[in-house]
Structure 1
Amino acid sequence: MSYFDGFVIAVPTAGKQQFIDHATAIDPIFKELGAIRVVECWGDDVPDGKVTDFRRSVQAKEDETVAFSFVEWPDKTTRDAGMKRLSEMMKTDERMDPEKNPVPFDGKRMIFGGFAAVVDI
């Protein structure tokens, strides 16, 4: 069954196109590493919760929009190998150079994790 990496970030709302441009440049790398697909989602209906919510999870400011992204892998073994290669590429691949393709969000506030699918209907 597929394996997923999920990401939630706060992106400056005025930087939506920069976010799209960055994703368009970076996301194909995940496909090169074996991912089945990469999906980038821009917050459209992200309500404030009573106890917690997406905005609080990433300390989103008033001028930021919450984005949710996921990478689907065929399995965890492929994901682990891909992420290992990605870590190595971050040192050598110019597409990963933040000077050439700046990250349009504060990575310190990103939440992420790997998830094993348990139901797929």
Structure 2
Amino acid sequence: MTYVDGFVFAVLTARRDDFRTQAQALADVFQEYGALSVCECWGVDVPDGEITSFPMAVKKAQNETVVFSWIVWPDKATRDKGNADVFEDPRMEQHFSALPLDGKRMIFGGFEPIVAVGATGFPPG
């Protein structure tokens, strides 16, 4: 059964290109350790809410943009081992320290897909 790590965070808008470069490098490392796919989505229509919203959840500042991303793994066991290996990889410190975001405001979690229709990027399972 596939497993998905999901993330929402705010990135300095002026550093979009820097973020994209670092995110690509990180995606390559995650794929080396078993991730099937990595997707980073730059917010273009992410409204503020009255009670809650993506911007509110990450305490987005005026000079930031919300990013929604996910990593697809073949299963939770591969994800657990892959994450452990990723965070032991010496390249990670350099990549994480270069990201133009405040990781303390990131929201994240692990998910098991229960419905996946069309071109989802998730293999059947």
Q: Same fold (TM over 0.5)?
A: yes
> Judging changes above 3 Å, is the alpha-carbon distance between structure 1 residues 87 and 97 closer, same or farther for their aligned structure 2 residues?
closer
Question: Does residue 1:17 correspond to 2:17, yes or no?
Answer: yes
| Count, aligned residues | 117
Identity, % of aligned pairs? 50
Q: What one-letter code is carried by the residue in structure 1 that aligns with 2:109? A: G
Aligned pairs (5 A) from 1:96-115: 96-98=92-94, 102-115=98-111
> Judging changes above 3 Å, is the alpha-carbon distance between structure 1 residues 99 and 3 closer, same or farther for their aligned structure 2 residues?
closer
Instruction: Indicate the RMSD between aligned Cα atoms, in angstroms.
Output: 1.6
Match of 2:3 in 1: 3
- Asked if 2 retains the 8 angstrom alpha-carbon contact of 1:55 and 1:66, the reply is yes
CA distance, structure 2, for counterparts of residue 113 and residue 107 of structure 1? 14
> Judging changes above 3 Å, is the alpha-carbon distance between structure 1 residues 53 and 70 closer, same or farther for their aligned structure 2 residues?
same
CA distance, structure 1, for counterparts of residue 95 and residue 75 of structure 2? 33
Moved more, 101-110 or 72-81: 101-110
Match of 1:80 in 2: 80
Q: Which sections of structure 2, spanning at least 5 residues, go unmatched? A: 118-125
Q: Which sections of structure 1, spanning at least 5 residues, go unmatched? A: none
User: Normalising to structure 1: TM-score of the pair?
Assistant: 0.90
Which SS does the other structure have where 1:72 is aligned?
Answer: strand
Q: Tell me the CA shift for residue 101 of structure 1.
A: 5.7
User: Normalising to structure 2: TM-score of the pair?
Assistant: 0.87
Moved over 6 A (4+): none
CA distance, structure 1, for counterparts of residue 17 and residue 43 of structure 2? 14
Q: Tell me the CA shift for residue 98 of structure 1.
A: 3.2
CA distance, structure 2, for counterparts of residue 67 and residue 53 of structure 1? 13
